[in-house]
Amino acid sequence: MARWKDRAYKLRRWFLVTSIVLCIAAIITMLLPILTSFDNPPIVILEPIFSIVYLTDMLIAKQSGSILFHFEYIGYLSYFLLIWSLFFFSMWHYLRPRKDWVKKMTSNPKPMKRAILIASFFSAMLSIGIIFLLIELTNLLESEIDLTQLIYYSIFFGSFIFFWGIWAFVFYKYHTKGDQYSQLSKMTRGLFAGSATEAVVSISVFANNPHNQECYCYRGSYLSLIISMTVILWCFGPGLVFLYMREKRRQALLLPPQYCPNCEYSLFNIASDTCPECGEKINKKGPFHNGPL
């Protein structure tokens, strides 16, 4: 495996290692309250951005002493670590690293079910954000009918499963055209563009639409903003991998090969047009790279 391909593989593996470390840390912090008289665990926070907000509030509210000695705060810390563990795991699951990953990415298009599952999940979250944004614009939350249970349970989970299936079908049909590298890159760019657009709209609605809610967290624009910012943050993980691969491809198109394509022997400071290790013919005149990558 060429050095840059090995680095791209290790970058994806780093997502998995980070996820495992955070998960172990979350389990350790969860065990501490269980061994004490901690009877009221906090509500599970479902969004990574939410977990950052709550953890920041805890650190600001605590004026003295260490947070590790206050088990009511450790509960939030454990959920914070668990959510971010799942966050990094979804990045790894989306890319599904293998030793021959770079080579297979340029092969005939075969739908990557894991990638489609993750991409459709975040697309469904964005769709739910749009629904709650429309609910705020129609002032449905301020009506005389108590729709709290209906909105946060029936509409949220029912609509989420519905949109998850719709987006999975769309990505499955869309993924059958072009090589896998191009399709994954396009899906990532599409998620980033959609979440950025939703974030801009949510900020505008949140700033300009009057409301009578006791807390800003009850507003649909706030939930839509949190979801869109979460997807934007998630896109940076796979985006870094694809950006690295694209720049290395451009470098390969401009420079002579640094490694033998047959045995991966280093060709640094070797002027011969044959590999000294295996005798493979080396192209020194160009084009220096064949294929999409």
What is the tens place of the pLDDT at every residue in 211-225? 665 566 667 788 888
The ranges of the chain with pLDDT < 70 are 1-9, 32-75, 97-111, 139-153, 155, 175-180, 210-218, 248-274, 276-277, 279-293
Structure tokens at 174: 């869309």
What is the tens place of the pLDDT at every residue in 78-92? 777 888 888 888 888
Q: Are residues 194 and 201 in contact, defined by beta-carbon separation less than 8 angstroms? A: no
Query: How far is residue 218's CA from residue 148's CA, in Å, rounded to a whole number?
Result: 10
Q: Are residues 120 and 168 in contact, defined by beta-carbon separation less than 8 angstroms? A: yes
Query: How far is residue 188's CA from residue 241's CA, in Å, rounded to a whole number?
Result: 11
Length of the chain: 293
Query: How far is residue 132's CA from residue 123's CA, in Å, rounded to a whole number?
Result: 15
Q: Please give the pLDDT value at position 35.
A: 60
Angle at 275 between CA 269 and CA 279, to 5 degrees: 160
Q: Please give the pLDDT value at position 85.
A: 87
Q: Please give the pLDDT value at position 14.
A: 84
Q: Please give the pLDDT value at position 56.
A: 53
Q: Please give the pLDDT value at position 68.
A: 45
